[in-house]
Amino acid sequence: MKEGTGIRDYDWSLLTIIFSICGVGVMEIWSATHASHLAGMQWKQLWWIALGVVLMLALSRLDYHSVLDKAPILYLIGILALLAVLAVGHTRYGAKRWLPVMGEFLQVSEIAKLIIIVALARFFSDVRTDRLSLMDLFKAAVLTAVPIGLILLQPDLGTAMVLVPVVAVGAYLAGIQWKHAAALFLAAALMVPVAWHHLKPYQKERVTTFLRPEEDPKGSGYQILQSKIAVGSGGFWGKGLGNGSQNQLGFVPVRYSDFILAALAEELGFAGVFVTLVLYTALLLRLIQNAQRAKDRAGMFLVMGVAAILGFHVLVNVAMVIGFMPVTGIPLPLMSYGGSAMLFVFLALGLVMNVRLGRFVN
């Protein structure tokens, strides 16, 4: 417990942004589900938000140095949990992702994301130089590759991908050498055909659909097409909350979760989208500002790990909604319905709060 930090030391701007985004999300979840058998979903979402806020505040009272201290142990626990999921996990939608905790099913990979942020923050602050050596880069890569591999086995390509920007942003801030970056980039490009070979059929389909949506207007291209129709038909002012035909009649796929922005774009139009994206930009810039003002590199890496994951989520999800990216199953943080994802975001933000509060302590 720290001394001398009070309620006014919290980042109230950040909290305002967070609650605004949550508010928009709850509203759109209500609109998307109120006329269906899913009605009442917004209450569950509010419950998750409340739980998330409590966890965030709790985590923010902990010194992040003590969290980083236990990074190796946390990392091991994370790996074990991922192995446990593969061994005894609950299968839903053809993937083993859930472990039963307190009567709810928790997506272990969400916890894993948090642990990777902590582990990599610890690793990069241990490097201490401003020039990342090849050996350290390799170590960081292995550190990330192990959980990525385990998550891919579930299989959950989306979450696995989310871990990549954490290590990428970390390496960039830790001073990756340009030649190493270029070599990695080249290696990744060469890996594409190999990776393609190992993709599941539905994943391949998503990618081909993305590249040539017109070839399959009713198969998996359907989701992107319907999402684009929803967005485009919204126009500037939207059709009004609860009035989007694409949304209300169920043409938008998982309109309360991954495609919630499509539902919002249809009902609240470009105006609504503009406000939402400005909120997300403000969120991310505020996170980076927190990183810039962190007391030490460890804090900065922690905050930037969170910013990397959230930023990646936002950019990929928004790009998917307008057909700039294939369907990956990456939700929109703070808006998409889902308990595990919500708890992860608030815990991650708890770490950020923690770093900020640490600033005021000597």
Partner 1 sequence: MSPWFQNDNRLPQTRLTVISYTIVALMALLLLGFWKLQIINSDRYAQLAERNRVRSIPIIAPRGAMLDRYGRVIVDNYPSFSVLLLRDDPAQLDHMLPQIADGLNLTLDDIQQQIEAAKALPHFQPIVIKPEATPGDIAFIESHRADIPLLEMLMVHRRRYPKGGFMAHVSGYVGEVSADQIEDSDNRYKPGDIVGKAGLERQYNDQLMGVDGLRRSVVNSVGREVGRLEQTDAVPGKPIRLTIDYDLQLVAEESLVGKKGAVVAIDPRTGDVLAMAGQPSYDPNDFAVRISKEEWKSLNEDPEHPLLDRAIQAQLAPGSIFKILMATAMLESKALPADYHVFCPGSAEFYGRVFHDWRKEGHGNVDVHDAIVHSCDVFFYNVGKQLGIDKISFYGANLGLGRKTGIDLPGEETGLMPSEAWKERVFHQKWYPGETISVAIGQGAIAATPIQLAYMIGGIITGGRFHQPHLLLSDKAAPEVDFPISDSTVDTVTQGMYGVVNEPGGTAFASKLSGIEFSGKTGSAQVISNQGLARAGKQADLKDNAWFVGFAPRQQAEIVVAVLVQGGEHGALAAAPIARDIVKAYYDKKQGKLPPQELTTQAVPGIPPSFAAQQAARASKPDPGAEESIPTKPDPVAATSATPATTPVATAPVSVNP
| Residues contributing to the site for partner 1 (CB under 8 A) | 65, 68-69, 125-126, 128, 130, 169, 172-173, 175, 217-219, 226, 228-236, 245-246, 249-251, 265-266, 269-270, 273-274, 277, 280-281, 284-285, 288, 291-292, 294-298, 300, 304, 307, 311, 315, 318-319, 322, 324
Query: How many angstroms separate the Cα of 229 from the Cα of each of 7, 29, 241, 250, 299?
Result: 45, 19, 17, 12, 43
Nearer to partner 1, 26 or 169 (CB): 169
Q: For residue 340, give both structure tokens.
A: 């595990």
Nearer to partner 1, 190 or 285 (CB): 285
Q: How far is the CB of 263 from partner 1 (least distance, A)?
A: 13
Cα(128)–Cα(124) distance, integer angstroms: 7
**What angle do helix axes 134-152 and 157-173 make, rounded to 10 degrees?**
170
Nearer to partner 1, 112 or 294 (CB): 294
Q: How far is the CB of 353 from partner 1 (least distance, A)?
A: 18
Q: How far is the CB of 296 from partner 1 (least distance, A)?
A: 5
Q: How far is the CB of 356 from partner 1 (least distance, A)?
A: 14
Nearer to partner 1, 283 or 343 (CB): 283
Q: Where are the alpha helices (DSSP H) in the chain?
A: 12-33, 41-60, 64-69, 71-88, 108-127, 134-152, 157-173, 178-198, 201-211, 221-234, 245-248, 260-292, 297-321, 339-359
Q: Letter for the amino acid at 323?
A: G
Nearer to partner 1, 96 or 122 (CB): 122
Nearer to partner 1, 167 or 294 (CB): 294
The answer to whether 341 and 333 are in contact (CB under 8 A) is yes
Helix (H) or strand (E) holding 255: none
Nearer to partner 1, 24 or 150 (CB): 24
Q: How far is the CB of 80 from partner 1 (least distance, A)?
A: 24
Q: How far is the CB of 27 from partner 1 (least distance, A)?
A: 19
Q: For residue 121, give both structure tokens.
A: 């923050």
Please tell me whether residue 351 adopts helix, strand or coil conformation.
Answer: helix
Q: How far is the CB of 136 from partner 1 (least distance, A)?
A: 15
Give phi and psi for 256, each to the nearest 5.
-95, -5
Cα(54)–Cα(80) distance, integer angstroms: 26
Question: Residues near 357 by Cβ (< 8 Å), separated by ≥ 6?
Answer: 2, 5, 9, 10, 60, 61
